[in-house]
Structure 1
Amino acid sequence: MNTDLLVSTLTHVVLLPPVCLLLGAAAGLLIGRRRRRAGRVLTGVSLALLLVLFTNAGARLLMHPLERMTQPLDPARIEGAGAIVVLAAGRLEHAPEYGGKDIPDLTALARLRYGAHLQHRTGLPLLVTGGQGSADGTHEPKARTMARALREDFRTPVEWVEDASSTTAENAAFSARMLNARGVRRILLVTNAMHMARAERVFARSGLQVIPAPTMFYGAGPLMALDFVPSASALQKSYYASYELAGLAWYRLREAIGSN
């Protein structure tokens, strides 16, 4: 397992809410056996933060810094682009209504929809990137699932399918290799707004000129009363925003270490 994938896995399992906060609450209970006040504070703070992140209002505290790092695509910037690159997201496995095939999840569909919109608007060739197929062939790489959805459901041609990558950094490196072979240097990069800062960073590092084309801005619009009511969907947003913030911190740490 490469370093980026290992860090990603550990981050998913241990360092993000709700697990990290539940671990904090459990640690508080253990500490409370000997240091009651400190234990109560740790448990109380952990559970309070968990409650906040269960609300859309709390999730916005994490989403806003990420989404403010990017802007919706300015049509004036499209000129000079040579391709559209759409990053893979998740998938639903063995969908019975599609004959047991894997299909893109809601996040992947949002990226595909915007990628298809841009392709129809510009006529630019399109690349989808994302691997993690199974060795036994039970699951195809995500890029192939996405390419099939684009062709069959969005009537959108796909020029390149990069299906070997496991991380965003590999998405960038492997896609750049394919695009450079065709003389493409400037791209429209499609992913959701919270992911764009990290994705743009690694694609630019791969030597490509990146025009961000973000979609799925969760933090737009005024707060409503229901945004302060706990919900599972709010915790999911908090989790994803936490993951992206951790990913950016990891990239910056590696760059700082590499520059010394």
Structure 2
Amino acid sequence: MFFLLSKLLHLFLMPFLWVLLFLILALLLKKPKYKRSFLFLSLGILIVFSNPFLENEAWRAWEVAAIPVNKVKHYDVAIILTGVTGYREDIPDRIHTHKGADRFLHPLQLYRLGKIDQFLISGGDGRVTGTAVPEAEQIEKVLLMAGVDEEDIITESNSRNTYENAKHTAKLLQKHPEWKTRLLVTSAYHMRRSQSCFTKAGIKADVYSTDFYSGPRYFTPDELIVPNAGSLSNWHLLIHEIAGYVMYKLMGYL
């Protein structure tokens, strides 16, 4: 039930949907006072959430900062959280990745540098309906194609969300007492919730953020004034993540 509700919540936290809703209300309502109010509200939301500078500032405040590669210590295992691949029934003969592919590409770099010995990939099938190849298995295939030794990869394919990632990973770690030092790898925006979940599950791990949405500050007209449609989509992701953090807190997962 919680899994399904989280998917519905993702839809209703979309700023563009708010703009459409308030525009429709402005058209349907008869009183001029209410029509103007909803019209200005929709315009205000559109201006704020399409501003690249404000979007970047929000990301900078929320994301967990990067650690330079040369400062990363040696770790027995990197725990990689999935959520960055997609499965297509019509093109099943390859791996389809999203923007967050850095979640496994960056620890692959650390592996090549000798900073990581093994991988634990956590994540199953996140679909509400239908079935797909578990994401952990998809990422495993990519790492194998990249030349990672098969014995250096362990997958956990039952998790559907961050809470389950932590719960199932904790069980796996009990079978591998040799993994004394652990590195938790996920997107920078997702790290706050992930780290808290893993700490709550009794897993001690350092963190390594990847897949950044934030960037340097630029006080240029295209950042300060010119609206960007992509900012609306990025705000949706950030608002969803913050709401997820709050919900996890209320559920006692953090």
- TM category, shorter: 0.7 to 0.9
Cα 1:169–1:235, aligned 2, differ >3 Å: closer, same or farther? same
Cα 1:191–1:200, aligned 2, differ >3 Å: closer, same or farther? same
Note the C-alpha offset of 1:232. Answer: 3.6
Q: Secondary structure at the match of 2:194?
A: helix
Equivalenced residue count is 247
Partner of 1:237: 234
Contact 1:53 1:235 in 2 (8 A): yes
Contact 1:128 1:160 in 2 (8 A): yes
Partner of 2:246: 249
Give the alignment partner of residue 21 of structure 1, picking from 19, 23, 29. 19
Give the alignment partner of residue 193 of structure 1, picking from 147, 171, 188. 188
Contact 1:95 1:101 in 2 (8 A): no
Contact 1:62 1:242 in 2 (8 A): no
Contact 2:170 2:203 in 1 (8 A): yes
Note the C-alpha offset of 1:243. Answer: 1.1
What is the correspondence of 1:24-63 to structure 2 with a 5 Å cutoff? 24-30=22-28, 32-34=29-31, 36-63=32-59
Cα 1:62–1:119, aligned 2, differ >3 Å: closer, same or farther? same
Cα 1:250–1:150, aligned 2, differ >3 Å: closer, same or farther? same
TM-score (norm 2): 0.84
Give the alignment partner of residue 160 of structure 2, picking from 166, 169, 172. 166
Which ranges of structure 2 fall in alignment gaps of 5 or more residues? none
CA distance in structure 2 between the partners assigned to 1:106 and 1:137 by the alignment: 23
CA distance in structure 1 between the partners assigned to 2:248 and 2:131 by the alignment: 33
Which ranges of structure 1 fall in alignment gaps of 5 or more residues? none
Q: Secondary structure at the match of 1:222?
A: coil
**Alignment identity in percent?**
24
Note the C-alpha offset of 1:27. Answer: 3.3
TM-score (norm 1): 0.82
Contact 2:52 2:227 in 1 (8 A): yes
After superposition, the CA RMSD in angstroms is: 2.9
Cα 1:190–1:62, aligned 2, differ >3 Å: closer, same or farther? same
Contact 2:183 2:205 in 1 (8 A): yes
Cα 1:15–1:136, aligned 2, differ >3 Å: closer, same or farther? closer
CA distance in structure 2 between the partners assigned to 1:76 and 1:136 by the alignment: 43
CA distance in structure 1 between the partners assigned to 2:138 and 2:207 by the alignment: 23
CA distance in structure 2 between the partners assigned to 1:135 and 1:19 by the alignment: 21
